[in-house]
């Protein structure tokens, strides 16, 4: 049985299904208006264990999924939502051993999805604080083995490109067309490129840049709607995670 240990991540779920991410520590404590939960009451227990706070609040303790961690991890930049990360790894056809160039790393959310899918990632980020946070998040959640497949540089992808050849390219930057201009120098023939852009005017510029040497160019967005199901009351939830960004995918032909 995989019991919780010091240093593990744990999610505490309350009676209203609110979720709280904790890193278990010696003498650690989780504080809410329902009182205190001592980490020592979690360590040595299995998933699904219920702990009670000092004021009688009950919390079910589980291990976080990647979705849990991405939505609650320390961040400096706005993260790519899990719904988009999942679709990006599918559109880019990420598989074990793929070499991926990612620019606009931010807090490392997409990097974690790529690494979890088996890729080796080389990232460019212009802000040192974002790069540092991404490294810490990846090592903290995925562990040292995954972190060994992650290489991040403080660099401007508009001005320079990494060494070597890549199977896939992921762009989360304001002007991705400026990187597409020199992508042909690092992307293998048949390789895939994806641009993540919030506005449709950016999408137009991306499409304009994907002409001579590209095929299968298309743009999609991912909308997720949950449902309220309680007895015979079944309806869509009033809130949904609608537009976050457009995903434009293309294949490099080299022709």
Residues in Cβ contact with 177 at an 8 Å cutoff, skipping those fewer than 6 apart: 205, 206, 208, 209
Burial class (CB in 10 A: 0-12, 13-18, 19+), 240: exposed
Q: Say if residues 133 and 74 touch (Cβ distance below 8 Å).
A: yes
Bridge partners of 171?
103, 195
Selection from 231, 241, 122 nearest residue 187 by Cα: 122
CA dist 110 and 102 (Å) reads 9
The strand pair at 19-23 and 120-125 is best described as unpaired
So what's the pLDDT on residue 67?
Answer: 95
Domain 68-252 class in CATH: alpha beta
So what's the pLDDT on residue 255?
Answer: 63
Q: Does the structure show a pLDDT above 90 at 58?
A: yes
CA dist 111 and 150 (Å) reads 8
So what's the pLDDT on residue 125?
Answer: 97
Banded pLDDT at 84 (limits 50, 70, 90): very high
The strand pair at 187-197 and 246-252 is best described as antiparallel
For the chain, what are the domain ranges? 9-64, 68-252
Q: Does the structure show a pLDDT above 90 at 239?
A: no
pLDDT tens sequence across 118-141: 999 999 999 999 999 999 999 999
Banded pLDDT at 34 (limits 50, 70, 90): confident
CA dist 167 and 178 (Å) reads 19
Q: H helices then E strands: how many in the chain?
A: 7, 15
Q: Say if residues 69 and 63 touch (Cβ distance below 8 Å).
A: no
User: What is this structure's pTM?
Assistant: 0.91
So what's the pLDDT on residue 33?
Answer: 87
pLDDT tens sequence across 196-221: 999 999 999 999 999 889 999 999 99
Mean pLDDT for the chain? 95
- Stretch 156-160: mean pLDDT: 95
Terminal Cα distance for the chain, rounded: 55
Residues in Cβ contact with 218 at an 8 Å cutoff, skipping those fewer than 6 apart: 248, 249, 250
So what's the pLDDT on residue 200?
Answer: 96
Domain 9-64 class in CATH: alpha beta
Continuous H helices in 143-198: 144-147, 177-183
DSSP state of 111: H
């Amino acid at each position: 049985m995989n019991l919780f240990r010091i240093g593990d991540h744990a999610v505490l779920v309350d009676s209203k299904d609110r979720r709280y991410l904790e890193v278990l520590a010696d003498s650690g404590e989780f504080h809410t208006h329902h009182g205190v939960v001592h980490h020592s009451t979690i360590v040595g227990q299995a998933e699904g264990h219920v702990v009670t706070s000092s004021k009688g609040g009950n919390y079910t303790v589980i291990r976080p999924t990647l979705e849990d961690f991405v939505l609650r991890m320390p961040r400096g930049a706005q993260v790519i939502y899990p719904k988009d990360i999942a679709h990006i790894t599918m559109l880019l056809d990420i598989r074990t051993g793929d070499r991926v160039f990612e620019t606009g790393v931010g807090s490392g959310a997409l990097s974690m999805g790529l690494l979890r899918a088996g890729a080796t990632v080389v990232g460019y980020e212009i802000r040192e604080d974002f790069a540092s946070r991404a490294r810490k998040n990846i090592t903290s959640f995925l562990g040292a083995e995954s972190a060994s497949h992650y290489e991040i540089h403080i660099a401007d992808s508009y001005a320079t490109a990494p060494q070597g050849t890549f199977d896939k390219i992921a762009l989360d930057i304001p002007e991705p067309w400026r990187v597409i201009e020199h992508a042909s120098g690092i992307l293998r023939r048949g390789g895939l490129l994806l641009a993540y852009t919030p506005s449709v005017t950016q999408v137009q510029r991306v499409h304009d840049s994907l002409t001579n040497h590209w095929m299968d160019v298309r743009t999609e967005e991912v909308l997720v709607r949950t449902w309220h199901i309680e007895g015979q009351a079944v309806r869509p939830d009033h809130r949904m995670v609608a537009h976050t960004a457009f995903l434009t995918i293309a294949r490099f032909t080299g022709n």
